[in-house]
């Protein structure tokens, strides 16, 4: 199987629909319409999304506004109809921020990377059921960013690395972010949600797109 890995330009957006491939931008070999293309941009947050994630049921403030260049890039190519004007900020750190961005039957998440962002979208039903995995991306200096969104009631996720090591990561406003050193062996991410205990594989963004 042949796949393509593409680094994220500083002002570009990387959009991936599946957790297993949520690293950089994906180009399907052989062409075809990218996931979520041609969907009208939403103008309101869907009730199902608000019911699943409390962060989307709050009033928008100045801190929820995405970086201008990132928002403009999303508007130019609003996959799944995502709308940055409806975003909510879940996590704010010195180097990276996580935003939740409503879309059409999907909820998207954005991790700022330099002057750009890595974006991944999940079906709203899957988010509500607690059945979504993490996205991974290479950050400045080569470190690995692991981020995702979860429904109300999930207070933490567990990142399993190496042969037996694990780290518990707290959830903040329906999102989580873990930053690991370059080269850390990744195994799985797990948490307990509405569907019970779920576990998803983690992929090193530096090596996942290789020709097998």
Q: pTM for this one?
A: 0.84
Q: Is residue 186 part of a domain?
A: yes
CB-based contacts of 105, cutoff 8 Å, min separation 6: 46, 80, 123, 124, 125
Domain containing residue 87: 13-201
CB 167 within 8 A of CB 161: yes
Which comes out higher in pLDDT, residue 58 or 114? 58
Q: Is residue 58 part of a domain?
A: yes
% of residues, the chain, pLDDT over 90: 75
CB 2 within 8 A of CB 29: yes
Report d(CA 124, CA 120) in Å as an integer.
Answer: 13
Predicted local confidence at residue 79, as pLDDT: 93
Over residues 70-128, the pLDDT tens digits come to 999 999 999 999 999 999 999 999 999 999 999 999 999 999 998 899 999 999 999 99
Q: Is residue 45 part of a domain?
A: yes
Predicted local confidence at residue 208, as pLDDT: 62
Q: Which helix or strand (DSSP H or E) is residue 144 part of?
A: strand 144-149
β-partners of residue 170 are 156
β-partners of residue 98 are 91, 111
Mean pLDDT value across residues 148-153: 98
Q: Is residue 44 part of a domain?
A: yes
Predicted local confidence at residue 162, as pLDDT: 87
Q: Is residue 208 part of a domain?
A: no
Report how many domains make up the chain: 1
Q: Is residue 26 part of a domain?
A: yes
Q: Is residue 8 part of a domain?
A: no
Q: Is residue 167 part of a domain?
A: yes
């Amino acid at each position: 199987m042949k796949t393509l890995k593409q680094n994220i330009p500083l002002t570009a957006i990387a959009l991936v629909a599946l957790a297993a491939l949520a690293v950089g931008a994906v180009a399907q070999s052989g062409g075809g319409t990218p996931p979520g293309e041609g969907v009208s941009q939403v103008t309101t947050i869907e009730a199902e999304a608000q019911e699943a994630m409390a962060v989307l049921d709050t009033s928008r403030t100045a801190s929820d506004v995405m970086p201008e260049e990132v928002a403009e890039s999303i508007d130019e190519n609003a996959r799944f109809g995502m709308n940055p004007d409806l975003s909510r900020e879940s996590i704010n750190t010195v180097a990276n921020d996580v935003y939740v961005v409503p879309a059409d039957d999907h909820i998207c998440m954005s991790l700022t990377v330099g002057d750009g962002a890595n974006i991944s979208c999940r079906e709203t039903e899957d988010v509500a059921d607690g059945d979504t995995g993490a996205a991974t991306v290479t950050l400045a200096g080569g470190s690995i960013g692991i981020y995702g969104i979860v429904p109300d009631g999930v207070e933490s996720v567990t990142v399993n690395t190496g042969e037996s090591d694990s780290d518990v990561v707290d959830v903040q406003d329906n999102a989580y972010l873990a930053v690991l050193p370059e080269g850390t062996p990744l195994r799985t991410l797990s948490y307990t949600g509405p569907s019970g205990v779920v576990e998803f594989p983690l992929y090193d963004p530096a090596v996942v797109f290789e020709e097998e």
